[in-house]
Amino acid sequence: MTTLTQGEHSLLLADKQSMCYCPGCTHASVLERLGHTLDGMGVDPRRVCIVSDIGCVGTSDRYFDCHTFHGLHGRSITYAEGIKRVRPDTLVIVLIGDGGCGIGTAHLVHAARRNADIKILVFNNFNFGMTGGQASPTTFPGGATGTTPGGAVDRPMDICQTVIANGASHVARVSAMDKACSAFMEAALRAPGFALVDIWELCTAYYLPRNKLKPAMLDEFAQDLDMPMGLLRDAGRPVAMGASVATPAPTDKKAEAVTASLTLPWSGRREIWIAGSAGQRIRSAAGLLGEMATNGERYASQTDDFPITVRKGHSVSRLIMSDAPIRYLGCDHPDLLIVLSEDGVKRLGRLDALPASCHVMVDASLTLAGLPREPTRFNFHEIQKQVGAESAAWTILVSAILQLGWIDADALRAAASASFRGSYRDKNLAALEAGIALQNA
Amino acid sequence: MREFITGNQAVVRAAIRAGCNFFAGYPITPASSILTEFVKAFAGGRGVIVQTEDEIAAIGQCIGAAMAGAKALTASSGPGLSLYSENIGLAQMAETPLVIVDCQRMGPSTGGATATGEGDVLFARYVTGGGYPLPVLSAGDAETAYRLTFDAFNIAERYRTPVILLSSKDVALTRQTVDLDAVTPPALVERDSLTSGDGDGWEGPYAVGRPADIPRFAPLGGDTLVRVTGSIHDERGVLTNDRSKIQAKLTHLVEKIERNAEAMERFDADIDPGADTLIICYGGTEGAVREAVDTLRREGAGVSRLTLHTLWPIARKAIREAITPNVRRIVMPELNIGLYADALQGVVAPKRIESIRRYDGGLIAPETICEHLCEEAITR
């Protein structure tokens, strides 16, 4: 962190008397202490960003002469995290209220879990001051507010334990009236990783008039609620911000570029439907042909139809191959339909609209309703036994396009050899040979 | 090199080439592969990738990152766009360059996660409170998604605004043959930078000369101190209740989009100067319209096609020019309940737009468009 000589520049633009807060509200004194703390730390204001949430404390960014960001209720934590990821040398401080911790609980928990390197100061005055004194997630049991006139009944949220349970590095609770408040804030600002100070405050506009609450009573409440004051956690976790998703070492895919391009002999537009079940590698089979067409100076388009549960239920791939760019992605007039399983039959429904010219190949055990003419049958079970479950769809697709005379075996072999890549290359080439053999048989 | 890739992959390729270095997102069909492609693309620290706890955090982190100087993108589907809503308003008010991809799917609510639809064309424009304009682009295939991703970043950077790029399930997940190397992307535009002067440190990160000007940008965490706020503010980013300053800021938010609308118009027109029929389309209906136009022309019909890649602001100039003197009929197929046709009605008045609609998760076929034109012609 770049530093200026202490006293050269104060981050604080106003003293507590000139701030906008109600007489007696502790926001002003805590903010003033924060300014003095930052000055005392000698931080460069260009490397400090204060992110304020919504509520009375949300008006405070104007009192600080550093970078400031004021956004939506409860979301200050998210902006802070985004800023810190891009500006790791900046001290990013969130000023948030108890309401913000309620509406933004998910962010609070997950930022702690990620050990986001941001410092959160909670201005916790047990009610919503800005909107007229409604109950907040931290209102004490029995606390009278605009929305709990007979006293709050819910347990107050323990902000500290919430973030501790989820991996926060540094957590403390302190009363705004406690002289140590500044020291707790400074310790949090200096701590690496996710740090939070839950500062208990007095709202003189709404909470105090309705409730018997004196500064000394905060300690009693803390005891009664088993929410102790003081430093609650100080166990630095290594900070690893930047990427929160583990990223593997880069692999250079370009090395696997197509070795040769063959112009496939197909002309016009061919449409293929393959219908079956999840796990039959139908999408992969269609994709292999699409890749071959693409590498063979042809155009392809593959649209897959599958339920959200990709390991169960139907899987239907619709593949278009054409010698011209494919503009309409709909695959409505199949020249070839292959059906592998009952899931596929169910998904296709009645086939009265199928073009009479469509060649249909179907597993021997299946019955398709509304077919215009007799299909060709194959024994999927036998083929699966022969080439393995993961290659059978591809084998059948190969035998079908050979049977239709769309391509001869040698050209198909050469195109596949030029096109196939990756760890499945050998397996897919073997399944292709099985398809050629099946057709010859 | 020709490749067999999805629209989502094309978007990520373009984003990287456009200099995108920050992605935050939450998984949702059919947008999830944008997230996973970014994980691969940013491997080894080549960019920041965050899988957040929800879409609100995703766009929140993107806004923070963008205001700290990053080129950020987030992607979701209709349900996630709903969760982006409030933050899109913040991005408008804070004048945040940000690209948001919405891979649309069928229906309201969770709808049909793996079925296509384009029902967010009005929602995208009116996604947040206040009613201020928001640029929205629409792609109907992988190559267009690739091109428009550059445009989306350029518009976001040039005009300091969030931009929504619409695709749909059939664009996002359909694998297509494309040669991205053969596409010449537009020259990249970067946000104008505000550099620290010798004044009081406040150079006015929201200061503009005329209302349609774009304020110069200084990043959070940089050497010029900046204030960013979603509340109404003056040229220094300081809250204001001065009516004249409020008026100036909000008028600026309107004019920087509306007065630059023509510069944001992206479209593809195939005009027959003597046409009596004009088909206007966007997104997932374009392919069918191209096929239908070829068929109709072979049969001797005089027909023009206008594909709108910019939906908002409305490409008025392109539309005006496509309505050549003999045009009597204007037809618009859409994968929704006729939403955008309604929006354009006022633009083409007193002519009437004939709406062709499909919203069951399927595409509108070329034959449907041809039949509509023939049948309607007979009934006239």
Report ipTM (2 d.p.): 0.96
Residue B370, chain A, CB below 8 Å: the answer is no
Q: Which residues contact A277 (CB under 8 A, 6 or more apart)?
A: A313, A314, A315, A340, A341, A342, A343, A344
Q: Which residues contact A319 (CB under 8 A, 6 or more apart)?
A: A271, A272, A273, A274, A286, A289, A290, A300, A301, A302, A331
Provide the percentage of residues in chain B whose pLDDT is more than 70.
97
- Residue type for position A270: R
Residue B290, chain A, CB below 8 Å: the answer is yes
In a domain, B224, yes or no: no
Of A153 and A8, the structure prediction assigns the larger pLDDT to A153
Domains: count for chain B: 2
Shared domain for A126 and A215, answered yes or no, is yes
Residue B340, chain A, CB below 8 Å: the answer is no
**From the CA of A407, how many Å to the nearest CA of chain B?**
20
Q: What's the confidence (pLDDT) of residue B194?
A: 82
Shared domain for B56 and B168, answered yes or no, is yes
Nearest to A247 among B44, B231, B362 (CB): B44
Torsion, Cα of B129, B135, B141, B144 (10° steps): -160
The three-state secondary structure class of A38 is helix
C-beta neighbour count of A19 within 10 angstroms: 18
Backbone angles phi, psi at B210, to 5 degrees: -95, 160
Shared domain for B158 and B304, answered yes or no, is no
DSSP of A189-238? HHSSS-EEEEEE---TTTHHHHS---TTHHHHHHHHTT---EEEEE-PPP
The three-state secondary structure class of A54 is coil
Q: What's the confidence (pLDDT) of residue B375?
A: 78
Give me the helix-helix angle, A392-403 and A425-440, nearest 10°.
50
In a domain, B258, yes or no: no
Q: What's the confidence (pLDDT) of residue B196?
A: 53
- Residue type for position A367: T
Nearest to B56 among A78, A89, A306 (CB): A78
Residues B330-371 have pLDDT tens digits of: 999 999 999 999 999 999 999 999 999 999 999 999 999 999
Give me the helix-helix angle, A425-440 and A409-419, nearest 10°.
170
Residue B262, chain A, CB below 8 Å: the answer is no
CATH, residue A302:
3.40.920.10
- pLDDT-based confidence at residue A2 (cuts at 50, 70, 90): very low
Q: What's the confidence (pLDDT) of residue A254?
A: 46
| pLDDT for residue B49 is more than 60 | yes
Residue A402, token pair as written in the block = 């050979």
Of A435 and A5, the structure prediction assigns the larger pLDDT to A435
Shared domain for A86 and A183, answered yes or no, is yes
Whether the Cβ atoms of residue A107 and residue A166 lie closer than 8 Å to each other: no
Instruction: Establish whether the linkage from the previous residue to B27 is cis, with ω within 30° of 0.
Output: no
Q: Which residues contact A318 (CB under 8 A, 6 or more apart)?
A: A271, A272, A273, A286, A302, A303, A304, A305, A331, A334
Residues B72-94 have pLDDT tens digits of: 999 999 999 999 999 999 999 99
In a domain, B364, yes or no: yes
Residues of chain A with Cβ-Cβ distance to B67 below 8 Å are 69, 79, 83
Q: What's the confidence (pLDDT) of residue A236?
A: 74
DSSP state of B194: P
Shared domain for B272 and B168, answered yes or no, is no
- Scanning every residue of chain A, which has its alpha carbon at the shortest distance from the alpha carbon of B56? A75
| pLDDT for residue A183 is more than 80 | yes
**Residue owning tokens 């590498």:** A295
Residue B369, chain A, CB below 8 Å: the answer is no
Residue B362, token pair as written in the block = 């399927």
Shared domain for B40 and B167, answered yes or no, is yes
- Scanning every residue of chain B, which has its alpha carbon at the shortest distance from the alpha carbon of A283? B175
| Paired residues of A269 in beta bridges | A322
Mean pLDDT, chain B, as a whole number?
95
| pLDDT for residue B199 is more than 70 | no
Q: Which domain range does residue A371 map to?
A: 262-440
| pLDDT for residue B25 is more than 70 | yes
- pLDDT-based confidence at residue A240 (cuts at 50, 70, 90): low
Residue A71, token pair as written in the block = 């956004």
Q: How far apart are CA A12 and CA A21, in angstroms?
A: 16
| pLDDT for residue B203 is more than 70 | no
Shared domain for A199 and A318, answered yes or no, is no
| pLDDT for residue B202 is more than 90 | no
Domain end call among B135, B157, B182? B182
Q: Is A328 in Cβ contact with B365 (below 8 Å)?
A: yes
Q: Is B2 in Cβ contact with A65 (below 8 Å)?
A: no
Q: How far apart are CA A242 and CA A86, in angstroms?
A: 8
Which of A96-105, A332-341, A364-373, B149-158 has the weakest average pLDDT? A364-373
Residues A62-93 have pLDDT tens digits of: 999 999 999 999 999 999 999 999 999 999 99
Q: Which of residues 47-66 of B touch A (CB under 8 A)?
A: 48-54, 56-57, 60-66
Q: What's the confidence (pLDDT) of residue B114?
A: 86
Tell me the mean pLDDT in the region A307-322. 90
Domain end call among B182, B202, B221? B182
The three-state secondary structure class of B22 is strand
Q: What's the confidence (pLDDT) of residue A7?
A: 52
Alpha helices for chain B (secondary structure H): 7-17, 32-41, 55-67, 78-94, 121-125, 142-159, 169-172, 243-258, 261-264, 286-298, 316-322, 339-348, 366-379
Find, among B268, B373, B314, the residue nearest to B122 by Cα. B314
Q: What's the confidence (pLDDT) of residue A372?
A: 83
Shared domain for B177 and B283, answered yes or no, is no
Q: Which of residues 62-121 of B touch A (CB under 8 A)?
A: 62-70, 72, 86-87, 90, 94, 113-114
Shared domain for A278 and A377, answered yes or no, is yes
Shared domain for A359 and A224, answered yes or no, is no
Q: How far apart are CA B92 and CA B85, in angstroms?
A: 11
Q: Is A302 in Cβ contact with B220 (below 8 Å)?
A: no
Nearest to A61 among B56, B176, B227 (CB): B227
Q: What's the confidence (pLDDT) of residue A241?
A: 63
Burial B252-289 (b: 16+ CB within 10 A, else e): bbebbbeebbeebbbbebbbbeebbbbbbbbbbbbbbb
- pLDDT-based confidence at residue B197 (cuts at 50, 70, 90): low
Tell me the mean pLDDT in the region A144-164. 97
Residue B227, chain A, CB below 8 Å: the answer is yes
- Residue type for position B16: I
Residue B130, chain A, CB below 8 Å: the answer is no
Q: Which residues contact B211 (CB under 8 A, 6 or more apart)?
A: B248, B251, B252, B254, B255, B256, B259
Alpha helices for B160-260 (secondary structure H): 169-172, 243-258
Q: What's the confidence (pLDDT) of residue B193?
A: 86
Q: Which domain range does residue B25 map to?
A: 3-182
Cα–chain center distance at B269? 18
Provide the percentage of residues in chain B whose pLDDT is more than 90.
91
Whether the Cβ atoms of residue A44 and residue B204 lie closer than 8 Å to each other: no
| pLDDT for residue A261 is more than 60 | no
Whether the Cβ atoms of residue A142 and residue A219 lie closer than 8 Å to each other: no
| pLDDT for residue B127 is more than 80 | yes
Question: Rounded to whole angstroms, what are the CA distances from B168 to A317, B153, B273, B303, B335?
Answer: 18, 19, 32, 27, 10
C-beta neighbour count of A310 within 10 angstroms: 13
In a domain, A242, yes or no: no
**From the CA of A308, how many Å to the nearest CA of chain B?**
7
Shared domain for A300 and A228, answered yes or no, is no
DSSP state of B180: G
Relative to beta strand B175-178, strand B136-138 is: unpaired
Residue B86, token pair as written in the block = 């409030």
Strand order, beta sheet including B22-25: B48-51, B22-25, B72-76, B98-104, B162-168, B136-138, B310-312
Q: How far apart are CA B316 and CA B346, in angstroms?
A: 11
CATH, residue A211:
3.40.50.970
Domains: count for chain A: 2
Shared domain for B13 and B147, answered yes or no, is yes
| pLDDT for residue A248 is more than 60 | no
Shared domain for A148 and A277, answered yes or no, is no
Residue A166, chain B, CB below 8 Å: the answer is no
In a domain, B315, yes or no: yes
Q: Which residues contact A440 (CB under 8 A, 6 or more apart)?
A: none
Residues of chain A with Cβ-Cβ distance to B176 below 8 Å are 299-302, 326, 329
Residue B286, chain A, CB below 8 Å: the answer is yes
Nearest to B68 among A83, A308, A329 (CB): A83
| pLDDT for residue A244 is more than 50 | no
Q: Is B39 in Cβ contact with A109 (below 8 Å)?
A: no
Residue A12, token pair as written in the block = 């604080």
